[in-house]
Structure formats: structure tokens, C-alpha cells
Amino acid sequence: MSDEKKLLFQAKNMYKSFGPTKALVDVSLDVYAGEVVGLIGENGSGKSTLTTIIARIQKGDQEEMYLEGQPYSPPDVIAATAEGICMVTQEQATFEDLSVAANIFIGEEKQFATGPVVNNAQMKKAAKKALENIGVTHINVSTLAGKLVFEDRKLVEIARAVYADPKILIIDETSTTLGKRGRDILYSVINSIRDSGRAVIFISHDIDEIMEVCDRISILRDGHKVAEMEKKDFTSLGIKRQMVGREIEDNFYRNDYDGSFSDEVALRARNLALGCLRDISFDLHKGEILGVGGLADCGMHDLGRILFGLDKPDLGSVETGYGKRIKKNTDAIKNDFAYISKNRDQEALFSVMSIRDNICIASLNKLANGLGLISNKKEKDLVNTWTNELQIKMDNMNQFVMYLSGGNKQKVAVAKWLGFHADVFILDCPTRGIDVGVKAAIYQLLSELKAQGKAIIMISEELPEVIGMSDRILIIKDGLISGEFPRNPDLKESDLINYMI
Ligand SMILES: Nc1ncnc2c1ncn2[C@@H]1O[C@H](COP(=O)(O)OP(=O)(O)OP(=O)(O)O)[C@@H](O)[C@H]1O
Ligand SMILES: [Mg+2]
């Protein structure tokens, strides 16, 4: 960058601890006008802590910040927004019981009110404009946010943040909740903010995406800033090395292209129809990793729920390999199915329960002895095994899940089902928000499960992982299977995208 770049925001001497955890230790961050700064680091390295302090969702123990050269220390989020800093958070931040329009203007309803009465028609019109402003036309502003698919809820949050016209927009681990269409929208929002001389702080675990989107990055490790890099110096290996403090492999997917699996069927889906899914049939085999891809709203996430008996299809059936019908969720669990939901905060975890209880809950029956008693030791062993294997960063196993970083929450969701010793794994975006090091560990585990003859269906919006890990790939479009691909070293993302859109 040239010398004349203008310093827009500066944070210095930032400290934050949570009990014994030092989340930030003397961290600094400079943001220049007209740039996208990436913030990258392993799960629990302090990215969300730093940015939520900047956005005033929480306060630092010690902090020194300047916006356009002036001391910046607004008391709360609303004041931060007024000063020009907005954030799209890692966790879901829409209210289910409010309409899309009310979500976009939460706290701002006054502008549509005459006296005590809010003019709903006016608010809806403005909400529609706010969505169109970021290129979203498919969301009805009267719908309750709780009725929207996961991706659309995030788009509502982006529209809300952009509508405030911020000088700095912070985007925390949002792209992995979005499919292709949502990402394209996000990138055009980022580009327009950069092009107008404002700035974006962008957090992602996708290193290729970081290298593409960002002009500069800051790397955090265990609450310390360990490096800064300019775009010209970006290399995937270099970034990873700084993140984890040692060399790590660049290619973490399977390196075999055998793609074979047993003829024995583990799950049989026949003519499934629900919502936008019209007619889906396939067999999942023992020892098979079956990847399922498509656009975010193609119905693939609903498919996961149907297979696990959480939603009842209008038509069609799900059966185990030995012909047992799965009609309800309890049938699925009894038949040793496991499921990780994409919507981890609402569906996969109990935030106000301990890490230990979350991991053990699915396995209680298996941990019990003949008398139905659960051995404390067995429970602790199970938790220790999986928290070590997945490197879950926590104070202790009795800590509430709500206090973990986003990626560490996801690891708990994964640990819960690995500990369950299921036969059929239905995984919806299993590595969402997980850092590269642990991603590699999860892929390794999937390969081991495959080798043990387990059947795995992996629904994902990350095409590289679908291609890198699957024995077979199904692409869903318009409620039907539009393409089927066997494992093949020459398969490219563009081959799949052609069948998605
Ligand atoms: N409210 C809280 N109470 C206790 N510990 C917390 C709290 N918030 C964060 N932490 C801890 O602070 C550390 C930094 O967490 P942070 O959420 O900033 O990580 P992150 O870099 O955003 O990780 P991820 O990539 O997983 O989102 C973690 O060890 C986390 O467990
Ligand atoms: Mg985070």
C-alpha cells in the first residue's frame, strides 16, 4: 500500500481475561481507510473477544482505542453504531419471534413512530430497501426470523449492519454460515465498503478466502498478536505456521482416491419430499463417506433433519440397512444414528449445561451399567478422550458451553456424537468455524470411522471438503438430485457448481 493511506481506527494495549483465561494480552490493531483487515487465529485465540470489544458488545479490562484520531470508547453497541462501528457476530443474532423488518430496525423503531405507535407499513418498506441494498430480494420482511433458513437469518443481520452505514464493518466467521449465493452477497458488500474508503475487519477460518478477500492480516495466537502480513506476503503455509506456531501440512484431506465402500446399505432414503425437497432417493453404505452439496436453500439441511427423524417428510421413507423405519428422532437414536446440526447454538448444544454433560448426554444409555447407573469414571474418561482428541480449549469440563469460543462449541457438538459410537453419522457442516489444525483432526477421524465401516453422510457448503473427503457426491438442485459424482482426483469445484445453479 502507498504511504498516504489514512489510519481510520487504532486499538492499543488491549487486555481481557475471563477467570484464569487470558483471552487478550497487549493486543493492538490498526485499520486503514479503504482496506479489509483479516483477523485470523486458532479457535479460542481471541478474535471474537477483540472485535466484540471494538463493537462494544463487551468491554476490555484495559483498552485504548481511537476512531479517526479521536478517543473511541462508546458505552454500548448502540453508541458504537452511532459512532460508525458495526458488527455481524459469529453467533446467531436475530430474534426468532420478531419479523425480519423488526429485526432490522431493532432499537430504531422510533424513526417509524408517530407518538407511541410504530408505523409498520413504513418500517416494512424501509426493511425491504435495506435488504435490496445488499442485493437480497428473496426474503419477505413480514416473516418471523425464526421461520427463515439459517443463511437468510445471517443475511438479515448483514442488511441490518450495512443499513447503519458504518465506517468500519466487523464480520466474524460469517461466510461459513452462508452458501454460495450468500457469500457472493457478502463479498460485494465488503468490496463496496472498501471502495468507498471505509474499512472491514474480516474473520474467517478459510485461509484461501482470507487471502482472497483481505489486503492485510493480523494473526492471533493464545491471546497474543504474533504477526501482521501484507497481501503480497500471503502464503497459505506461512499463515498457518504463524497461527499454530509450527509447520503444518497444507493438504489435510484424504489422499487416497480409491473411493470404494461396502455393498451393504446402512441407510435407505426413498422418495423424500418436504418443503423444497421433491423426490430424493439414495442408499448410504457401510464404510462410505457420502458428500451432499448444493446451494444453501436447496433443502440439503432439511434432508439432514429428515434422515435423523427430526422432521417428518410429506412423502417417502427413511430406513436402516436392515429395514427398520426411522419415523421419529428416538428411532434414529435407538438405531445408532448420530446427527450434527448446522444450527449448533439452537439445535446441537445446551449452552447452559457443562461441556461434560453436553458430551455425555447422547451416550448416557451406553455409559450405564446393568442397573442403569452411570459410572463417574467412565463419563470423565469419555470427556477426557474427546476433549483431548479435538483439542477443546476450556478451563475445565464443568464449564458451561456458552463460555467457549465459537469453534470450541462446534468441537463439543462433534465430540458428543463421536463419543456415542454411532453406526450412521449425519453431519451437517461438521467443520463450520473450526480452525485448520482441528479440521485436519476431524478429517482424520472421518477417515478412521470409514475404515471401521461406519456410514457417514456429510452435508456441506464447503465444496473443497466435499470433494476432498467424499467417496461419492450428490448435488441437490430444485429439490432433486441433479448430479452424482464418484471420488475422482480430477473433480473440480466448477464441475459441481454447474449442477447446483
Ligand atoms: N464470556 C466468556 N467467559 C469465559 N471465557 C470466555 C468468554 N468469552 C471468551 N472466553 C474465552 O476466551 C478465549 C478467546 O475466545 P474467543 O471467542 O475470542 O476466540 P476466537 O478466536 O473467536 O475463537 P473461534 O475461532 O473459535 O471463534 C477462549 O479461551 C474462550 O473460551
Ligand atoms: Mg470467535
Q: Which three cell numbers stand for residue 208?
A: 484461501
The span from the CA of 335 to the CA of 326, in Å, is 8
Q: Are residues 156 and 193 in the same domain?
A: yes
What value does the mean pLDDT of the chain take? 91
- Distance from the alpha carbon of residue 13 to the mean position of ligand 2, in angstroms: 20
Is residue 74 in a domain? yes
Q: Are residues 44 and 76 in the same domain?
A: yes
Nearest listed ligand to the Cα of residue 351: 1
Q: Dihedral (C-alpha) 92, 98, 99, 104: value to the nearest 10 degrees?
A: -60
| 380-390 exposure pattern, b = at least 16 Cβ within 10 A, e = fewer | eebbeebbebb
Q: Which of 421, 439, 470 is the last residue of a domain?
A: 421
Residue nearest to atom 19 of ligand 1 (CA): 44
- Distance from the alpha carbon of residue 118 to the mean position of ligand 2, in angstroms: 36
Q: Which three cell numbers stand for residue 167?
A: 465506517
Is 224 exposed, middle or buried (CB count within 10 Å of its CB: 0-12, 13-18, 19+)?
A: middle
For 52-61, what is each residue's pLDDT tens digit? 999 999 999 9
Q: Are residues 332 and 347 in the same domain?
A: no
Q: Are residues 224 and 281 in the same domain?
A: no
Is residue 253 in a domain? no
Residue nearest to atom 25 of ligand 1 (CA): 43
Q: Are residues 279 and 404 in the same domain?
A: no
Least confident of 122-131, 317-326, 358-367, 384-393: 358-367
Instruction: Considering only residues 187 and 373, tell me which one the structure prediction assigns the higher pLDDT.
Output: 187
Residue nearest to atom 1 of ligand 1 (CA): 403
Nearest listed ligand to the Cα of residue 439: 1
The predicted model gives 168-185 an average pLDDT of: 91
Q: Are residues 64 and 155 in the same domain?
A: yes
Is residue 235 in a domain? yes
Is residue 123 in a domain? no
Is residue 75 in a domain? yes
Determine how β-strand 62-67 pairs with β-strand 70-71: antiparallel
- Distance from the alpha carbon of residue 457 to the mean position of ligand 2, in angstroms: 27
Q: Are residues 79 and 29 in the same domain?
A: yes
Q: Are residues 89 and 202 in the same domain?
A: yes
Inter-residue contact 201 to 11 (CB < 8 Å) = no
Q: Which atom of ligand 1 is nearest to the CA of 44?
A: 19
Q: Which three cell numbers stand for residue 46?
A: 481471541
- Distance from the alpha carbon of residue 190 to the mean position of ligand 1, in angstroms: 25
Nearest listed ligand to the Cα of residue 399: 1
Is residue 143 in a domain? no
Is residue 102 in a domain? no
The contacts of residue 125 (CB under 8 Å, 6+ apart) are none
Name residues contacting ligand 1 (CB within 6 A): 18, 21, 23, 41, 43-49, 90, 173, 393, 403-408, 435
For 355-380, what is each residue's pLDDT tens digit? 999 998 888 777 777 776 777 888 89
The contacts of residue 148 (CB under 8 Å, 6+ apart) are 94, 100, 139, 156
pLDDT of residue 150: 84
For 73-128, what is each residue's pLDDT tens digit? 999 999 999 999 999 999 888 999 999 999 999 888 878 888 778 888 999 999 99
pLDDT of residue 3: 54
Confidence of residue 1 (pLDDT cuts 50, 70, 90): very low
- Distance from the alpha carbon of residue 364 to the mean position of ligand 2, in angstroms: 30
Q: Which of 180, 212, 244 is the last residue of a domain?
A: 244
Q: Which of 21, 206, 396 to mutate to test the pocket of ligand 1 (most atoms within 8 A of CB)?
A: 21
pLDDT of residue 244: 84
The predicted model gives 293-322 an average pLDDT of: 93
Question: Which CATH number goes with the domain that contains 495?
Answer: 3.40.50.300
Q: Which of 14, 15, 16, 18 to mutate to test the pocket of ligand 1 (most atoms within 8 A of CB)?
A: 18
Name the nearest CA neighbour of 362 among 450, 301, 426, 422.
422
The predicted model gives 443-466 an average pLDDT of: 93
pTM: 0.87
For 401-451, what is each residue's pLDDT tens digit? 999 998 899 889 888 888 888 899 999 998 888 888 888 888 988 999 999
Nearest listed ligand to the Cα of residue 403: 1
Nearest listed ligand to the Cα of residue 436: 1
Q: Are residues 306 and 267 in the same domain?
A: yes
Confidence of residue 209 (pLDDT cuts 50, 70, 90): very high
- Distance from the alpha carbon of residue 48 to the mean position of ligand 2, in angstroms: 4
* Residue span of the structural domain in which 370 resides: 343-421
> How many domains would you assign to the chain?
3
The span from the CA of 213 to the CA of 198, in Å, is 15
Is residue 359 in a domain? yes
The contacts of residue 115 (CB under 8 Å, 6+ apart) are none
CA distances from residue 91 to 48, 88, 157, 322 in whole angstroms, order as listed: 10, 9, 11, 40
The span from the CA of 15 to the CA of 38, in Å, is 20
Q: Which of 244, 272, 287 is the last residue of a domain?
A: 244
Q: Which atom of ligand 1 is nearest to the CA of 90?
A: 27
Q: Are residues 226 and 330 in the same domain?
A: no
Q: Are residues 332 and 376 in the same domain?
A: no
pLDDT of residue 335: 94
- Distance from the alpha carbon of residue 102 to the mean position of ligand 1, in angstroms: 30
Q: Are residues 400 and 468 in the same domain?
A: no
- Longest Cα separation, the chain: 74
Instruction: Considering only residues 301 and 247, tell me which one the structure prediction assigns the higher pLDDT.
Output: 301
